[in-house]
Chains A and B, each alone.
Chain A
Amino acid sequence: MLQNYLPILIFLGVATGLSLLLLGLGFGFGALFGIRKPYAEKQSTYECGFEPFEDSRIKFDVRYYLVAILFIVFDLEIAFLFPWAVSLSKIGAVGIAAVGIFLLILVVGFIYEWKKGALEWD
């Protein structure tokens, strides 16, 4: 089975080699021919001429987190459906019933979040 993935391994090798080569060339030429004279003003953030007054990393709304965690739950649900769909001819009616109950439990959660308004942005 693993021989099916040999092209991916070759691709990984080529990608690693190419990125190392480009990085090495860039840093190598920079170290050879570049002039490095850093000082505090040069390395500070340029903000249209005035002093930077805020960190660029700010706290943001917790609602993004809610959307992401609801996405993850249904992402996992879909992940459970892939092996079911592939092996459906072997597992028969028992498999269909099992996934029916599985989806029913999650639909309860889906109705809950819909009615609760968690999918609304405001």
Chain B
Amino acid sequence: MSFTEILFYVFSAVLVVSALGVITARNPVYSALWLVFAFFNSAIIWMLLEAEFLAIILILVYVGAVMVLFLFVVMMLDIKVEELRAGFTRYAWLGLPIALLVIGEIGSVVWVKSQDDKALGLSSVASPAAYAADYSNTKALGQLLYTEYLYPLQLAASILLIAIVAAIVLTMRKRSGQKVQDIGAQISVKAKDRVRIVKVAAVQPETGNTVEGQS
């Protein structure tokens, strides 16, 4: 077993533990933080596959941005943990068979196939040779992405455009009755618009009567 393989098993074990933490943590904020840890470990596993650009993008985009969105949603929904726990067993009759089915499918692919024919099994796929030290994963990705996968790239741009439009349509609200400063109007105002000078007749201090002609 090589050093890389040992690293893979160590970080996969940590990844599985942190994924279990995501679904078992009582507080949704804690499970979001467990998910951050899981993302870091899967980034390391991608790095072991020598996909360095994808590993760094996983940390930048998922840990840096997607997790912030998750935390926003958790805080905006104002989830009470006790109410969530109450519904846990109610859906277990549906969730458990689905979970067992998925486990069975994964097991059949990984285990049974590796026994029957060598086409899909783990032992039949040889690990690729390690790249040289000056190999640039980013460059290789760019050469494929902008020549062979042009159409999927434009599709990705369209999906991002849809995301912009959908986010604005769903969450933009103009609130009425706001007091907003209009700086242009403030500067261009004239003194006569604001101040009105009123002639008031003077009052004599002793008698309190008004005196005509004096000011």
In the complex the two chains form, is A86's CB within 8 Å of B136's CB?
A: yes
Docked-complex contact B61 and A72, CB < 8 angstroms: yes
| Besides the known contacts A68-B65, A75-B61, A117-B172, 20 further A-B residue pairs in the complex with CB atoms under 8 A apart | A1-B52, A60-B76, A64-B72, A65-B72, A65-B73, A65-B167, A66-B171, A70-B167, A75-B65, A76-B160, A84-B142, A84-B146, A87-B141, A90-B142, A91-B146, A102-B154, A105-B160, A108-B161, A109-B164, A112-B168
Which of A19-27, A30-38, A92-100 touches B?
A92-100
**Residues of B at under 8 Å CB distance from A?**
4, 7, 47-48, 50, 52-53, 57, 60-61, 64-66, 68-69, 72-73, 75-76, 78, 130-133, 135-143, 145-147, 150, 153-154, 156-158, 160-161, 163-165, 167-168, 171-174, 178, 180
30 contacts between A and B (CB under 8 A): A1-B52, A2-B47, A3-B133, A59-B78, A60-B75, A64-B72, A65-B76, A68-B69, A69-B167, A72-B66, A76-B61, A79-B60, A79-B61, A82-B138, A85-B142, A86-B139, A87-B138, A98-B154, A99-B146, A101-B154, A102-B153, A102-B154, A105-B154, A105-B157, A105-B158, A105-B160, A105-B161, A106-B164, A109-B165, A110-B164
Majority SS of interface residues in chain A? Answer: helix
Interface of B is mostly: helix
Out of B47, B157, B174, B180, name the residue touching A101 (CB < 8 Å): B157
User: A86 contacts B171, CB within 8 Å?
Assistant: no
CB of B164 within 8 A of CB of A112, answer yes
Chain A residues, Cβ within 8 Å of B141? 83, 87
A42 at the interface (CB under 8 A from B): no
In the complex, the answer to whether B157 meets A112 with C-beta atoms within 8 Å is no
**A73 touches B (CB below 8 Å):** yes
Give Cα distance in the complex from A113 to B170, angstroms. Answer: 13
How long is the Cα–Cα vector from A73 to B178 in the complex, in angstroms? 29
Residues on the A chain within 8 Å of B78, using CB: 57-59
Q: Which of B57, B66, B130, B146 contacts A95 (CB 8 A)?
A: B146
For residue A9, CB closer than 8 A to chain B, the reply is yes
Q: Are A86 and B138 in contact (CB under 8 A)?
A: yes
> Which chain A residues border B171 with CB–CB below 8 Å?
62-63, 65-66
A5 CB–B CB distance under 8 Å: yes
* A14 within 8 Å of B (CB atoms): no
Given A86-B139, A106-B160, A68 contacting B72 (CB threshold 8 A): yes
A19 to chain B, nearest CB (A): 13
**Are B133 and A4 in contact, CB atoms less than 8 angstroms apart?**
yes
